[in-house]
Amino acid sequence: MSNPALQNKITYIEFSTTDIERTKAFYGTVFGWTFKDWGPDYISFAGAGVDGGFAKSDAGPAGKSAPLIVLYSADLKATEDAVVAAGGSIVVPTFEFPGGRRFHFADGVGNVLAVWSE
Protein backbone atom coordinates (compact mmCIF):
# COMPACT_ATOMS: atom_id res chain seq x y z
CA MET A 1 0.00 0.00 0.00
CA SER A 2 1.58 3.27 -1.06
CA ASN A 3 0.34 6.79 -0.46
CA PRO A 4 1.17 9.15 -3.36
CA ALA A 5 0.34 12.21 -1.24
CA LEU A 6 3.25 11.32 1.07
CA GLN A 7 5.84 10.77 -1.68
CA ASN A 8 9.10 12.53 -0.71
CA LYS A 9 7.48 14.20 2.34
CA ILE A 10 8.75 14.17 5.91
CA THR A 11 6.53 11.68 7.71
CA TYR A 12 8.49 10.77 10.83
CA ILE A 13 11.13 12.18 13.14
CA GLU A 14 13.27 10.02 15.38
CA PHE A 15 15.12 11.22 18.46
CA SER A 16 17.56 9.38 20.67
CA THR A 17 17.22 9.00 24.43
CA THR A 18 19.29 7.52 27.20
CA ASP A 19 16.17 6.73 29.28
CA ILE A 20 12.94 5.51 27.66
CA GLU A 21 10.76 5.75 30.80
CA ARG A 22 11.97 9.23 31.71
CA THR A 23 11.35 10.37 28.13
CA LYS A 24 7.77 9.07 28.23
CA ALA A 25 7.14 10.77 31.58
CA PHE A 26 8.61 14.09 30.44
CA TYR A 27 6.90 14.43 27.04
CA GLY A 28 3.66 12.91 28.30
CA THR A 29 3.47 15.33 31.21
CA VAL A 30 4.65 18.48 29.48
CA PHE A 31 3.08 18.06 26.03
CA GLY A 32 0.43 15.36 26.45
CA TRP A 33 2.05 12.99 23.94
CA THR A 34 1.06 9.34 24.05
CA PHE A 35 3.43 6.43 23.46
CA LYS A 36 3.56 2.90 22.11
CA ASP A 37 6.34 0.57 23.25
CA TRP A 38 8.16 -1.42 20.55
CA GLY A 39 10.40 -3.37 22.90
CA PRO A 40 12.79 -2.12 25.56
CA ASP A 41 14.75 0.19 23.26
CA TYR A 42 12.15 1.99 21.15
CA ILE A 43 8.93 3.97 21.61
CA SER A 44 6.80 5.79 19.09
CA PHE A 45 4.79 8.88 19.96
CA ALA A 46 1.54 10.47 18.84
CA GLY A 47 -0.01 13.86 19.48
CA ALA A 48 2.98 15.97 18.42
CA GLY A 49 1.76 17.12 15.02
CA VAL A 50 4.10 14.68 13.26
CA ASP A 51 4.66 11.00 13.98
CA GLY A 52 7.92 10.05 15.60
CA GLY A 53 9.82 7.96 18.06
CA PHE A 54 12.68 7.69 20.51
CA ALA A 55 15.44 5.11 20.17
CA LYS A 56 17.49 4.16 23.22
CA SER A 57 21.06 5.27 22.76
CA ASP A 58 24.14 5.74 24.86
CA ALA A 59 24.59 9.16 23.24
CA GLY A 60 26.56 11.76 25.08
CA PRO A 61 25.26 14.96 26.67
CA ALA A 62 22.22 16.77 25.28
CA GLY A 63 22.87 18.48 21.99
CA LYS A 64 25.41 15.91 20.80
CA SER A 65 23.01 13.97 18.58
CA ALA A 66 20.63 15.20 15.93
CA PRO A 67 17.09 13.97 15.33
CA LEU A 68 16.66 11.59 12.41
CA ILE A 69 14.29 13.00 9.79
CA VAL A 70 12.49 10.24 7.91
CA LEU A 71 10.98 10.74 4.43
CA TYR A 72 8.52 8.44 2.67
CA SER A 73 8.97 6.78 -0.72
CA ALA A 74 6.65 4.35 -2.50
CA ASP A 75 9.71 2.98 -4.34
CA LEU A 76 12.54 2.60 -1.87
CA LYS A 77 15.04 1.21 -4.40
CA ALA A 78 14.43 4.05 -6.87
CA THR A 79 14.96 6.62 -4.12
CA GLU A 80 18.13 4.86 -2.96
CA ASP A 81 19.45 4.91 -6.53
CA ALA A 82 18.59 8.63 -6.84
CA VAL A 83 20.44 9.41 -3.57
CA VAL A 84 23.59 7.70 -4.83
CA ALA A 85 23.31 9.23 -8.33
CA ALA A 86 23.09 12.71 -6.77
CA GLY A 87 26.30 12.19 -4.80
CA GLY A 88 24.87 10.96 -1.51
CA SER A 89 25.92 7.77 0.23
CA ILE A 90 24.02 5.00 1.97
CA VAL A 91 25.15 4.87 5.61
CA VAL A 92 22.66 2.24 6.86
CA PRO A 93 21.57 -0.31 4.24
CA THR A 94 17.88 -1.11 3.85
CA PHE A 95 16.48 -3.02 6.81
CA GLU A 96 13.03 -4.18 7.91
CA PHE A 97 11.13 -2.90 10.95
CA PRO A 98 7.52 -3.41 12.10
CA GLY A 99 5.52 -1.64 9.40
CA GLY A 100 8.05 -1.41 6.61
CA ARG A 101 11.63 -1.01 5.46
CA ARG A 102 14.06 1.91 5.47
CA PHE A 103 17.60 3.02 4.75
CA HIS A 104 19.69 5.95 6.01
CA PHE A 105 21.75 8.20 3.76
CA ALA A 106 24.26 11.02 4.03
CA ASP A 107 23.68 13.96 1.71
CA GLY A 108 27.38 14.85 1.35
CA VAL A 109 27.09 18.12 3.23
CA GLY A 110 26.80 16.83 6.79
CA ASN A 111 23.23 15.61 7.12
CA VAL A 112 21.95 12.06 7.64
CA LEU A 113 18.31 11.31 6.87
CA ALA A 114 16.28 8.16 6.32
CA VAL A 115 13.72 7.00 3.76
CA TRP A 116 11.01 4.43 4.53
CA SER A 117 8.39 2.48 2.63
CA GLU A 118 5.85 -0.21 3.39
CB 41 within 8 A of CB 58: no
Q: Which domains, ranges and CATH numbers included, belong to the chain?
A: 4-117 (3.10.180.10)
Residue 66: its pLDDT value, please?
83
Predicted pLDDT at 116 = 96
Residue 4 has pLDDT above 80, yes or no: yes
Nearest residue to 33 via CA among 19, 50, 18: 50
**pLDDT tens figures, 18-71:** 899 999 999 999 889 999 999 999 999 999 999 999 999 886 555 557 899 999
Identify the band that residue 79 occupies on the pLDDT scale cut at 50, 70 and 90. Answer: very high
Residue 106 CA to residue 98 CA, distance in Å, equals 24
Q: Tens of pLDDT along 102-115?
A: 999 999 878 899 99
